[in-house]
Amino acid sequence: MRGSLMNRRAVQKFRQALISTVASVKIKLVLGLCIGFTLIALAGRASEFMGWTSHSASLERFSDSRKGYAIVMNTWKRYDLLKQSISHYSRCPRLDSIHIVWSEPSPPSDSLRKTLYHITELNTRDGRRVELKFDINKEDSLNNRFKEIPDLKTDAVFSIDDDVIFPCSSVEFAFDVWQSASNTMVGFVPRMHWVDPTNGHRDHYIYGGWWSVWWTGTYSMVLSKAAFFHKKYLRLYTNEMPASIKEYITKNRNCEDIAMSFLVANVTGAPPVWVKGKIFEIGSTGISSVGGHSEKRTHCVDRFAAEFGQMPLVPTSVKAVDSRNIWFW
């Protein structure tokens, strides 16, 4: 009887030890899987943590299989920023050409040309060839950034300022988005308009900056400081944009991006597409930091709507996000 009791106790101890061991193994297994998934996720985002000079190797498979895009870069007496931007964007896999919009009184110096050509050549030694051109303008006007480029080989234009950097992976993703909606504007910097509630008429509007977009989750424009659009809009802007609007832009040195948004929306009757992307501002503050900037932009929205005879801008809350770069979506 005593021996039987001892045997039962031994069996119970063995079962408890076995259960404890199994539980410990399960906990270690779960912890191991969590650590493994974390390491995989971190590895997938390593290029993002390394900064805007890194590039996604997975994008290289597209470089020969799809038609590329042209960069049209606006610049003004910021040669260090121009060199930095050209050095970065010339590495992007599907870039076909870079057109520098030059509106300075003097032409670019031979040393600047030589440096930029050299930078471009160094960054395209993998079999690609990126063409670099200066589009020289006699008049200093913000309208120059949208002048028609007769020898443009690609349909897609990526309009960018010289002081704004996006990772090549973000630019390539935006290009993919644009290919699925090539008649509209696809960009990284959204803005909004709405009817002025303090005015009794419905034909007066207010321009809303980033915080308006953040608060409402709605936008109706993407700024041309970082946006894709079809090259046909360069021709339409050059030849069809009302002269009074272009004259106003030249005189006030503002709102050319709003004018382009009006033009595209008037043609398509559709909203633009906002693409989520990490932005690196490498220059000093621009005209948006000057006092009265929002009021000036509001006046542009009002004036352009009157010129077009309607409000063509279409609000939307859709945002394109690259799910490969986020953990939860």
With bands split at pLDDT 50, 70 and 90, how would you rate the model's confidence at 67? confident
Model pLDDT, residue 125: 72
Active-site positions read: 257
Q: How, if at all, do strands 190-195 and 221-222 pair?
A: antiparallel
Per-residue pLDDT for 219 more than 50?
A: yes
Question: Looking at residue 22, what is its pLDDT?
Answer: 45
pLDDT of residue 66: 47
Confidence at residue 287, expressed as pLDDT on a 0 to 100 scale: 52
Distance CA 179, CA 158 (A): 12
Residue 207: pLDDT over 90: yes
314: pLDDT strictly greater than 50: yes
The upper half-sphere exposure of residue 21, i.e. CA atoms within 13 Å in the direction of its Cβ, equals 6
Check whether 64 has a pLDDT greater than 50: no
Q: Tokens 């997975």 label which residue?
A: 58
Rounded CA separation 305/313 (Å):
9
H or E element in which residue 227 lies: strand 226-230
Question: 155: which residues sit within 8 A by CB, 6+ positions away?
Answer: 67, 182, 230, 231
Give just the sign of the alpha carbon dihedral 316, 322, 325, 328.
Answer: positive
Q: What is the pLDDT of residue 328?
A: 60
- CA 8, CA 251: separation in Å to the nearest integer? 98
The upper half-sphere exposure of residue 125, i.e. CA atoms within 13 Å in the direction of its Cβ, equals 5
Bridge partners (DSSP) of residue 320 are 275
Report whether pLDDT(261) > 90. yes
35-50: average pLDDT:
45
Q: Is the model's pLDDT at 24 over the cut of 50?
A: yes
Spatial strand order of the sheet with 156-161 comes to: 131-136, 95-102, 69-74, 156-161, 226-230, 186-187, 273-275, 319-320
Give the dihedral of Cα atoms 86, 288, 138, 226; nearest 10 deg. 40
CA distance 329 to 194: 29
Count of CB atoms situated within 10 Å of the CB of 19? 10
Please tell me the predicted confidence (pLDDT) of residue 33.
Answer: 53
Bridge-based pairing of strands 190-195 and 205-208 is antiparallel
Nearest to 325 by CA among 166, 212, 128, 161: 166
Phi/psi for 112 (5° steps) reads: -65, -45
Percent of the chain with pLDDT over 70: 75
> What is the rounded CA–CA span in Å between residue 308 and residue 148?
21
pLDDT for residue 323: 86
Q: What is the mean pLDDT of residues 245-259?
A: 97
The rounded distance, in Å, linking the Cα atoms of 130 and 117 is 10
Mean pLDDT of 74-78: 93
- Give me the pLDDT at residue 284, please: 65
Residue scoring higher pLDDT (103 or 285): 103
Per-residue pLDDT at 128 = 83
Q: How does the average pLDDT of the chain come out, rounded?
A: 83
pLDDT at 293: 76
Q: Which two tokens stand for residue 263?
A: 């033009």
Q: What pLDDT is recorded for position 84?
A: 96
- The pLDDT score that the predictor gives to residue 126 is 72
Residue 69, token pair as written in the block:
């895009």
User: With contact defined as beta carbons under 8 Å apart, do 224 and 257 qualify?
Assistant: yes
| pLDDT tens digit sequence for 83-139 | 999 999 999 999 999 999 999 999 999 999 999 999 999 998 777 889 999 999 999
* Lowest-confidence pick of 5-19, 122-136, 199-213: 5-19
pLDDT at 49: 32
DSSP designation for 316: B
